[in-house]
Amino acid sequence: MLSVEQLKKEAIKKEEAYANQQSEFERLNKQLSEANDERKKQMKQLQQVIAERDVLGTQLVRRNDELALLYEKLKIQQSTLNKGELQYKARLEDLRILKLELKKLRHDKGTLQDKVSNTDDLKREVF
């Protein structure tokens, strides 16, 4: 059988083990509380990041719409510019043709003036 002395030693060991377990329990509880606080903090940060992502996504959609509109305007302006360029080239061709016609008319005028001079000379000779 166990003596009183042994029972006292065993009781002291059990009390020490209980105190150690109580201390360990408190330490683990503190760690659990800190982990929960950290989890709450991270969840809050996650919500902020999600909200920011949503805002950025909305802005991106708007910018894409603006960009598509700008490309459409650019296409229209390019088409207008191309049409204007074709019309300009046509006017240049018209101008070239008119200059050639003017040159021909001036030549014809000179020829006719020479003939008129000759006609006057002939009239004088005849009369």
Question: Residues 6-22: pLDDT tens digits?
Answer: 989 999 999 999 999 99
The whole model's pTM is what? 0.54
- The span from the CA of 88 to the CA of 52, in Å, is 52
Domain spans, the chain:
1-92
The angle subtended at Cα 26 by Cα 25 and Cα 29, nearest 5°, is: 85
pLDDT at 26: 97
pLDDT at 78: 99
Written as six digits, the tokens of 18 are 């209980």
The residue written with tokens 């000779």 in the block is 125
Q: What are phi and psi of 122, to 5 degrees?
A: -65, -40
